[in-house]
Amino acid sequence: MQTNIVLRKKLEVIFWGLLLIWWGLRWSLLAFLPEGSGLVGTGMLLFGATIALRLAGLSYDPNNIFFGLITLLSGGVLIALSAMHISAELPVLETVMIVLGLVLLGYALIGTTKRASKEA
C-alpha cells in the first residue's frame, strides 16, 4: 500500500515536471510551432500520465482522459485552422472550457436536486 502511494506521488511529480517543461519550451523556444501545438502536447501528456498509472496498476481519474481528449481536439482544430490559413482568431479552447464548465455545473446542480428529492 505504501509503495503504491510513493509510486503515485513520483508519477504525479514526473507528470507536472514534464508539463511545466513542455509549456516553457512551447512558449519560449518553440514559438515557431503552429497555434494549438501546446494543447496537443498537453493532451498527450495527460494521456501519457493515465497510461503510466494504468501500467503501474494504480487507479486513475477518468477525467484525465476526458480533459486530454478535449485538449487534443482543441489543439487539432487550432492546428487545422492555422494550416488552412484562416486568420480569424476563434476562441476554440475558451469556448470549449465555457461549455464544459456549464455542463459540469448543470450536472452538479441537477444531481444534487435529484439526490435531495430521493432522500426526502
% of the chain exceeding 90 in pLDDT:
28
Q: Are residues 71 and 112 in the same domain?
A: no
pLDDT at 70 (0 to 100): 86
Q: Are residues 65 and 100 in the same domain?
A: no
Q: Are residues 72 and 116 in the same domain?
A: no
Task: Tell me: pLDDT of 104 over 90.
Answer: no
Task: Tell me: pLDDT of 111 over 80.
Answer: no
pLDDT at 20 (0 to 100): 93
| Residue 57 falls in which region: left (phi positive, over 0), alpha (psi -120 to 50) or beta | left
Between CA 8 and CA 21 the distance in angstroms is 20
Q: Are residues 38 and 69 in the same domain?
A: yes
Helix boundaries (H) for 1-120: 2-27, 37-55, 62-83, 92-119
Taking all residues of the chain, what is their mean pLDDT, rounded to a whole number? 84
- Per-residue pLDDT tens over the stretch 7-42: 989 999 999 999 999 999 988 888 888 888 999 999
φ, ψ (nearest 5 deg) of residue 30: -105, 35
Report for 44-48, 63-67, 70-74, 96-100: range of highest mean pLDDT:
44-48
Q: Are residues 55 and 17 in the same domain?
A: yes
pLDDT at 43 (0 to 100): 93
> What Cα–Cα distance (Å) separates residue 44 from each residue in 18, 61, 87, 117?
11, 15, 26, 41
Q: Are residues 115 and 84 in the same domain?
A: no
pTM of the model: 0.71
Q: Are residues 114 and 62 in the same domain?
A: no
Structural domain boundaries enclosing 54: 2-89
Q: Are residues 67 and 116 in the same domain?
A: no
Rounded to 10°, the helix 37-55/62-83 angle is 150
How many structural domains comprise the chain? Answer: 2
**Cα 15 from chain centroid?**
12
Q: Are residues 74 and 58 in the same domain?
A: yes
Given a contact cutoff of 8 angstroms between Cβ atoms, the answer to whether 15 and 49 are in contact is: yes
- Per-residue pLDDT tens over the stretch 49-87: 999 999 999 988 888 888 888 889 888 888 888 888 876
Task: Tell me: pLDDT of 98 over 60.
Answer: yes
